[in-house]
Amino acid sequence: MTGLREGMAEAIRLILGFDPEILKIIGLTLLVTLSSTFFASILGIPLGSWIGFTSFRAKRPIVRSLNALMGLPPVVAGLVVYLLLTRKGPLGTYGLLFTVPAMILAQILIVTPIVASLTISGIHMKVKAVKETCMGLGLSKFHTIQLLLYECRYPILSAIAAGFGRAIAEVGAIMMVGGNIQYKTRVLTTAIVLETGKGNYGKALALGIVLLLIAFIVNWGIGLLQERGNHERRRTSS
């Protein structure tokens, strides 16, 4: 208990003291996580929307494959990116290994199946009703897709939130391709692992608190948007 109290006291001191190294780690964490979530959403939302909207023969195997990739072990994703970026790999000439772009690429590989799969689930709930409504109104396929995406905006937001949550908690893949280099590729999760191993429990606890706060703020904001949407739907239906 004494060690825990001392760790909490040191964590509060580091957070309130705006420790430069912690601020750098927080900034890099936000850069990597937000960038990877953004690019994964750009890839995953159109892919999930197309699969959810369209009927074709291989749809079920593709959906099952995406669902399976939601549980892709991060170290496997890290290994794939590492082999691509290592000096003897196909992209080795660009010198991206142990850099921020390598970390973003690894997280995109992890997050994209999550966003795509959850987008498919959201689209699937409303696609039939929207298609029937638009067919009755004589709307084009383009306008049908627009309306479908609008109706599914909150499930899609949930998909993005889930992807962000997976990205910000990731440690294995970015440790492998980023190298956990101080002031260059060290993010909150890798720093927590390092400081815990060194016995700096106060600093590790401070980083953990910051990590929880970031995840809480982002998911709280998305939750507010979803509650607002539910309120609007109830008001419209009444």
Q: How many domains does the chain have?
A: 1
- CA-wise closest residue to 100 among 174, 37, 182, 43: 174
In this prediction, residue 236 carries a pLDDT of 57
Residue of higher predicted confidence among 159 and 10: 159
Please state, rounded to an integer, the average pLDDT across all residues of the chain.
Answer: 86
- The predicted model scores a pTM of 0.87
In this prediction, residue 222 carries a pLDDT of 76
Residues in contact with 74: Cβ distance below 8 Å, sequence separation at least 6, in sequence order: 106, 110, 170, 171, 172, 173
CATH number for 39: 1.10.3720.10
191-227 residue pLDDT tens? 999 988 988 877 888 888 888 888 888 878 877 776 7
53-63 residue pLDDT tens? 888 888 899 99
Q: Which domain holds residue 139?
A: 2-237
